[in-house]
A and B are shown apart, each in its own frame.
Chain A
Amino acid sequence: MAMDDRTIIAILFHWAIAILLAPLFVGIISKTKAILAAKVGPSLFQPYYDIVKLFQKGVVYSRTTTWIFRVAPVIVLAVMLVLALMIPFGIVKAPIRFAGDIFLIAYLLGMARFFIIAAALDTGYSMEGMGASREAFFSCLAELALFMNFVTLAFKTKSLSLSSMIGADAPVRWEVFGPSLFLVVISLFIVILAENCRIPVDDPDTHLELTMVHEVMILDHSGPDLAYMLYASAMKLFLFMNILVPIITPIYSHDAVVGVIVFLAMLVGIAVTIGIVESSMARLRLNRVGNLLLIAFVLAFFGFVVALWKTI
């Protein structure tokens, strides 16, 4: 692709949106949970304040850790920032898109996961090891469900680029894709909950090893490292929500203002829904989480079967 001014500006603009907006949605989820619990709750911009505060703190490294521990937050955040360029926002296509970019996205997430798990095992303590083991297990099933969703979407849209698959350049028609799309949406929602460590898969608020997957893996990071990790998880949530948004957006208009308002409204809607789900359920027992992810997989599989049937 030619690197002219428009493309560079598009890349920078895309990045700016992702960098600025990502932590806001973590704040929205916390606020929703607080309101449902009849509390005032933290400010909507609390994650921003947390990140800034952490940058001002010092960093402590244990003598058990190696260079992997120091390098992991950098790699994880770099992966999320690069992914921000490959995921479309609403009807704005991703600046970097090509046939097969879904595989690069999935395996870049795998790279981030490898380094988080390695950094957790680097500390030499059982809590982080526990979180790492659970993360490795859940990611197997979550990856299966995610790829099944990709297969269904690719089969329906006959395209291999994420922007075309989820309808960022041609709106995905519910009338055409129908019931299989409904199943894909539910399956993707469960995958979002699992990959971003929300209830019912993981509890992001407590800091006990019994209830954590993601929080415990980053337990030993401090200062700017922890800031990078928090920011990366907020960005991951934002990017996953953006995969869901174009599929469920009901209104399409070419007017820029209306498009932006609809896009933001859908994002806020998904964040509020996640908050409601988190408030209304308890975290599942760990051996039940596997079954939940299997259900997500089977729903996507059924969606594929229906889509396949419709073409015969």
Chain B
Amino acid sequence: MEDMDSILRFPWHVPFGELFLKLDPLNALFLAAVAVLVACSSVYGIGYMRQYKGRKPLYVHVFFYVLLAASFVTVLLANNAILFLCAWETMSISTYFLIVFNDERSAARKAGFLYFIVAHSGTFCLFLMFLLMAQVSGTMNFDVISNTKFSSGLSGIIFILALMGFGVKAGFLPGHFWLPHAHPEAPSHVSALLSGIAIKTGIYGICRVLYILGVLPVWCGYLVLFIGVIAGLMGVLYALGQHELKKLLAYHSIENIGIITIGLGLGLIGKSCNQPYVSVLGFSGALFHVINHALFKGLLFLDAGAVIQRTKTGEIDRLGGVAKIMPLVSVLFLVGALSICGIPLFNGFMSEFLIYLGLFNGLFCLSLNGVVSCVIAILALALMGALALACFTKVYGSVFLGIPRETFPPQERPSSKLMLAPMMILAGICIWIGIAPWTVAHFTFCGGEYLSRIPSSTDHFSYVMGSLPAVIMVLIIFIAVASFLAFMKYRVSRGTLVTGRATWNCGYPVDSPKFQYTSSSFASSIVEYFKSVLFFKRHGERIDGYFPRHMTMHSGVKDFFEDSVFRPMFAKAVHLSRAVDKKNILFTQMYLMYIFIFLIFLMLWKLRG
């Protein structure tokens, strides 16, 4: 796939700016994901927002939604740093307004505000980074910057700034704490967009900086891999401790960003060690997972929205047996859950397969440090896969299966086809990619080779493509065997089937939800095993005596970075600013003082240099 030409190029009156949009193999992948997901969630949104008709100004929401979609496209296609930053800021602002749609809830307002602060801190780093790049190369045009050579130290600094700025948006671990607040508070179709696309723009930014910088020192690859491992493991561990449906899905987004970052780190390490095969596999796996995650996370959030709309609650421990009142939604959620766990037949397996292949090949041909990093990444991926399976069986079992824990409110309106159709389309695409991956894999390999800066050729990935038909054959045999077994079972048990009894229950034929395992009990063995990492705390009284009185208990997982690092930091900043405020300095005087201090600083800098 040859480099595509620029789509749009107009001069712009903003200094150094230019309306320059360019499509290349890297953009095209992200754009495909954007197109599918924006279309699906828009259709879903029409059906979802009907409940607010007349109660809230919907046109404001639609305006910012369209603005968000447009800014996504511009961020992905921008080839000029000023245009990129403008689009980035537009994205942040429109996201804020979309998050605070339910602004009568204080949680939503706080979540939006937190997102706003964190997004702008990230953008600050991006400004610094682009200024540094422009200073060395003299222009804001990405093409020209790609061709300039940066010194090793400078490219290291630029990359660190990129990781900080884009990483906060993507959800890397120290800067992830806004995600579990913002994504649940937004309306469900917006959450799907946020988890599916917005955090991927962070990944896209890192990929673009990677491409621009070209050659990076080796430690960058190790750093990215390490960040991915931490983000993935902590994301899924925190997710296991959640009992609110959308917050759990938001933490899972962090885990999948970790998987993508592991792929990126592997690609970087391969590139620095001159192992093109490993590098292409790493980058392609990461890009494939970007698409897959957008699809199945979008599907899961849309499903969660449908469930919450019908049952009026998102607390997992108040749900249960939803499959009986929403059968189609439960099947679609199962498709999403199987995809996210990486089960074969669905798309999640294919991208993880590529990343594993890359990591194991890295074992064979990298240096000692590379081998150690690959081993750590393989172990982390294996653990993440198993923990994700535990988490999603917990969610699926507690929400959709079993006995309802509270009675459901009566259904106000029949379920909207506008909400079901996009979910079915997304589920269909997930299954299609799982069974016929080479259609998408081809594009991801082009993107991977583009990032590794090796000329596009087909024989690089013919080796991998050689394994894929065997995988598909196994899956086809599996489907055939399963059908045969189902048929045999049906024939054998046709006359003797008995349904409609209660579960045996050791002899108590009572359908009571009190016997049922709750989701927190299900996850408790794992959460308590990792207690020291997760700060799992149980508040409340312990049962003693034979006839305990009425008691309450509450257990939860504390997000370490949020509670112990950032909230105290923010509190100190607020405290400091209040203290400065109290000093009775007048408004204009304070700002004159700032200007004065900055002038002194400039003078000192100029005198030195």
Contact = CB atoms under 8 A, between A and B. Distances in A.
Chains A and B bind each other? yes
A224 B342 CA distance: 29
A312 B368 CA distance: 9
Classify the secondary structure of B's interface with A. Answer: helix
Contact of B485 (A74, A113, A144): A74
Interface string B74-116: 0000000000000000000000000000000000000000000
Interface string B18-46: 00000000000000000000000000000
Interface string A97-123: 011110110111011011001101111
Given A136-B390, A220-B504, A63 B363 contact: no
A118 B499 CA distance: 19
Contacts of A134: 525
A148 B379 contact: yes
B136 interface: no
A126 B390 contact: no
Contacts of B485: 74, 77-78, 228
Contacts of B505: 125
Nearest to B381: A147
Interface string B243-259: 00000000000000000
A43 interface: no
Nearest to B364: A158
Interface string A299-310: 000001000100
Interface in B478-509: 478, 481-482, 485-486, 488-489, 492-493, 496-506
A290 interface: yes
A75 B482 contact: yes
B470 A1 contact: yes
Contacts of B503: 62, 64-65, 123-125, 220
A78 B344 contact: no
Interface stretch (B310-318, B394-402, B421-429): B394-402
A86 to B, nearest CB: 7
B482 A74 contact: yes
A151 interface: yes
Interface stretch (B61-69, B263-271, B513-521): B513-521
A63 B493 contact: no
A278 interface: no
A1 to B, nearest CB: 7
Interface in A46-99: 55, 57-66, 68, 71, 73-75, 77-79, 81-82, 85-86, 96, 98-99
Contact of A107 (B330, B385, B467): B385
Contact of B470 (A82, A98, A148): A98
Contact of B357 (A66, A96, A99, A106): A99
Contacts of B517: 121, 126, 128-130, 132-133
A140 B526 contact: yes
Given A82-B477, A122-B401, A125-B515, A60 B363 contact: no
Interface stretch (B117-125, B348-356, B576-584): B348-356
Contacts of B341: 110, 114
Nearest to A138: B525
A64 B344 contact: no
B397 A82 contact: no
A45 interface: no
Contacts of B499: 60-61, 63
B478 A82 contact: yes
A91 B330 CA distance: 45
A292 interface: no
A241 B482 CA distance: 24
B328 interface: no
Interface in B214-264: none
Contact of B403 (A73, A124, A151): A124
A126 B513 CA distance: 10
Nearest to B368: A312
A160 interface: yes
A32 to B, nearest CB: 31
Interface residues of B, number: 83
A312 B482 CA distance: 48
Contacts of A287: 529
A226 B387 CA distance: 27
A57 B495 CA distance: 10
Given A58-B498, A82-B474, A64 B511 contact: yes
B378 interface: yes
A101 B349 CA distance: 12
A262 B467 CA distance: 32
Contacts of A55: 492
A9 to B, nearest CB: 16
Contacts of A125: 503-505, 515-516
B382 to A, nearest CB: 4
A247 to B, nearest CB: 19
A266 interface: no
A81 B182 CA distance: 45
A106 B474 CA distance: 14
Given A61-B498, A107-B342, A117-B397, A136 B511 contact: no
Given A57-B496, A64-B403, A133 B368 contact: no
A143 interface: yes
A129 B342 contact: no
B467 A151 contact: no
A272 interface: no
Nearest to A81: B481
Contacts of A151: 360, 363, 375, 378-379
A308 B371 contact: yes
Nearest to A78: B482
Contacts of A220: 503-504
B504 A290 contact: no
A48 to B, nearest CB: 17
B294 interface: no
A252 interface: no
A125 B507 CA distance: 12
A121 B478 contact: no
Contact of A63 (B477, B489, B492, B511): B511
Contacts of A312: 368
A140 B386 contact: yes
Q: Among A82, A103, A134, find the residue whose CB has the most chain B CB atoms closer than 10 A.
A: A103
A202 interface: no
A118 B401 contact: yes
Contacts of B474: 82, 85-86, 96, 104
A245 to B, nearest CB: 22
12 contacts: A60-B498, A64-B402, A78-B485, A104-B344, A124-B513, A125-B515, A126-B515, A128-B517, A144-B383, A154-B360, A219-B504, A223-B496
Pairs A-B, 8 closest by C-beta atoms: A129-B517, A121-B397, A58-B496, A136-B390, A78-B482, A124-B402, A147-B382, A98-B470
Interface of B: 320-321, 323-324, 330, 334, 338, 341-345, 349, 352-353, 356-357, 360-361, 363-364, 368, 371, 375, 378-379, 382-383, 385-387, 389-390, 392-394, 396-398, 400-403, 463, 466-467, 470-471, 473-474, 477-478, 481-482, 485-486, 488-489, 492-493, 496-506, 511, 513, 515-517, 521-526, 529
